[in-house]
Amino acid sequence: MRQESFVMQDIPLYHNLVMKHIPGADPELVLLNHYYEELDRIALSDMTRSEINELLEKLGFYKKAQPEDEVPEELRFAPAKDSPFKDDRPLKSSMSTVDTENASSESNPEVKHTDL
């Protein structure tokens, strides 16, 4: 498995990144908003550990040096740009799941995720 090192060593370092293992399914990054509504899915099967880490950095995920390290207050909702509790506007992505469940529907290429 190409992502085994990523799963065992890197996922614990990322804030607001949760792994959900589904046996037999291809790995995907599922981007969710504060209400756990799906925003997008990104296939990870053909990506290397370093490529996945680069993707997460590009998306704005905060990576701690050690799993037990504190997350700076200003990055508590990262990769979201805002707190879900400031006002009633639609919210940005705050949590993602590395999911191995296959999506039956395709992501809408027309949708622009300016919140990422």
Q: pLDDT over 90 for what percent of the chain? A: 47
For residues 73 and 54, what is the distance between their CA atoms, to the nearest angstrom?
Answer: 23
* Residue with token string 């399914």: 25
For the chain, helix, strand, coil in percent to 5 are 20, 20, 60
The torsion angles phi and psi of 90, rounded to 5 degrees, stand at -55, 145
* pTM recorded for the entire structure: 0.67
pLDDT at 63 over 50: yes
Q: What is the mean pLDDT of residues 65-89?
A: 81
pLDDT for the residue 40: 94
Report in angstroms the alpha-carbon separations of 83 from 15, 35, 76, 93. 15, 12, 8, 10
Contact 13, 62 (CB under 8 A): no
pLDDT for the residue 102: 47
Count CB atoms within 10 A of the CB of residue 84: 16
Domains of the chain: 3-75 (3.40.30.50)
Q: pLDDT over 70 for what percent of the chain? A: 67
pLDDT tens readout for residues 9-32: 889 999 999 888 889 999 999 999
pLDDT tens readout for residues 80-110: 876 666 654 444 445 566 665 544 444 444 4
Q: What is the mean pLDDT of residues 60-64?
A: 95
